[in-house]
């Protein structure tokens, strides 16, 4: 649905539905550019970046956050015409809650990193499926070792029923293909990181405990321009790691985390929070929250703390230095000052999500 309004006269120039085709949109918008400067407003969606690139030569492009468009909508039900009228009214009053789109190169880099995450998740699901097959024969087989060299030898030696033999053979074949794709993507990531990733941002995020080099690349790509966040609390809010809130008068009710914003940023920070034992400060926070609210909420609290620390580090342009909280004895020696730290010149290989474990053979089928 496309609507165009002449700000000078208030005349509605265009009001018609259009197919989601590039040329159809350009045929409507290009003649309007002859009337003067043009502002193009659209609602955020998965392919908003593409349409922003298409419309950018025609004038100013504003991609609006769909949540705020829905809040301004008159009526509860969603219609394209109603949303278009809402965005047109918001543009007239110059009330534009914009979404961050980023450049084409930034979006492509982010897609590459997300693709690697997706491949690893596929491999994890396949390994869990193989482990479940082993459990049907009374075997204890860690999911990280089901397709190792030793694991493949055991699969070949075990006497499996025909159905499970077929499943195991095909799952091992698919896993080998997935691992090849992961290796190829990792090679491409390491080759492009020097030119596409913001070096200083990655370096600062890499100094955080538990994040690692790939986690730093993913977090930096999901955050984008960190200067758009006015305060430290804005970063965990963007990752959806803050509790939802309903307040009226003096009554405040906080619920589950919002889970808005970047799900990949939220996921990688929770993964980093699971390694809180490497930091006395974060370990103390985890223990304090876990005692009251449980392990899962403690991980979220640590992930939120990590993002707030990251904002302060980026704002001050310094690396993370461990500080032992009061009342906690320091187990590890204090870290060297940021000025004396050696900066990694070449990225280390991206670690595979594997853990060691003991393999026990199956019982009698």
Domain limits of the chain?
2-92, 104-196, 199-340
Tokens 């034992």 locate to 277
Give the pairing type, strands 2-5 and 12-16.
Answer: antiparallel
What is the three-state SS of 168-237? HHHHHHHHHHHHHHHHHHHHHHHHHHHHHCCHHHHHHHHCCCCCHHHHHHHHHHHHCCHHHCCCCCHHHH
Spell out the long-range contacts of 109-113 with Cβ–Cβ below 8 A and sequence spacing 24 or more: 109/192, 109/196, 109/197, 109/221, 110/221, 110/222, 112/185, 112/188, 112/189, 112/192, 113/189, 113/214, 113/217, 113/218, 113/221, 113/264
Spell out the long-range contacts of 72-79 with Cβ–Cβ below 8 A and sequence spacing 24 or more: none
pLDDT tens for the 365 residues of the chain, in order? 888 888 878 788 888 888 888 898 888 888 888 888 889 999 888 889 998 999 999 889 999 988 888 888 877 777 788 888 888 888 888 888 888 998 999 999 999 999 999 999 999 999 999 999 999 988 888 777 888 888 899 899 999 999 999 999 999 999 999 999 999 999 999 999 999 999 999 999 999 999 999 999 999 999 999 999 999 999 999 999 999 988 888 788 888 999 988 999 999 999 999 987 788 999 999 999 999 999 999 999 999 999 999 999 999 999 998 876 665 554 444 444 443 333 344 445 555 544 334 444 455 43
Separation CA 279–CA 285 (nearest Å): 10
Tokens of 339: 């000025």
């Amino acid at each position: 649905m496309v609507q165009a309004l002449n700000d000078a006269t208030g005349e509605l120039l265009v009001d018609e539905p259009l197919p989601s085709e590039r040329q159809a949109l350009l045929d409507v918008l290009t003649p309007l550019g002859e009337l003067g400067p043009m502002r193009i407003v659209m609602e955020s969606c998965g392919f908003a970046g593409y349409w922003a690139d298409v419309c950018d030569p025609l004038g100013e492009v504003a991609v609006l956050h769909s949540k705020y468009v829905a809040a301004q909508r008159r009526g509860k039900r969603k219609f394209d015409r109603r949303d278009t009228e809402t965005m047109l009214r918001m543009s007239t009053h110059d009330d534009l809650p914009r979404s961050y789109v980023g450049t084409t190169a930034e979006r492509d880099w982010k897609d590459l990193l997300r693709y690697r995450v997706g491949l690893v998740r596929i491999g994890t699901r396949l390994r869990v499926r193989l482990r479940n097959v082993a459990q049907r024969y009374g075997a204890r087989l860690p999911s990280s070792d089901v397709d190792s060299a030793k694991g493949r030898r055991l699969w070949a030696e075990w006497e499996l029923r025909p159905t499970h033999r077929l499943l195991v053979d095909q799952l091992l074949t698919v896993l080998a293909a997935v691992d090849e794709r992961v290796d190829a993507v990792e090679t491409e990531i390491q080759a492009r990181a020097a030119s596409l990733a913001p070096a200083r941002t990655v370096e600062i995020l890499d100094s955080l405990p538990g994040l690692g080099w790939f986690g730093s690349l993913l977090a930096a790509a999901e955050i984008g321009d960190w200067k758009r966040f006015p305060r430290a609390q804005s970063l965990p809010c963007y990752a959806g790691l803050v509790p939802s809130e309903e307040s009226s008068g003096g009554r405040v009710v906080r619920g589950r985390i919002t889970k808005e914003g970047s799900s990949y940023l939220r996921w990688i920070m929770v993964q980093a929070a699971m390694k809180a034992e490497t930091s006395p400060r974060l370990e103390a926070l985890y223990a304090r929250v876990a005692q009251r609210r449980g392990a899962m909420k403690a991980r979220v609290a640590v992930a939120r703390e990590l993002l707030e620390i990251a904002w302060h580090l980026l704002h001050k342009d310094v690396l993370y230095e461990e500080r032992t909280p009061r009342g906690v004895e320091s187990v590890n020696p204090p870290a060297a000052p940021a000025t004396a730290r050696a900066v990694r010149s070449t990225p280390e290989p991206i670690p595979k999500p594997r853990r060691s474990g003991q393999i026990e053979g199956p019982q009698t089928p």
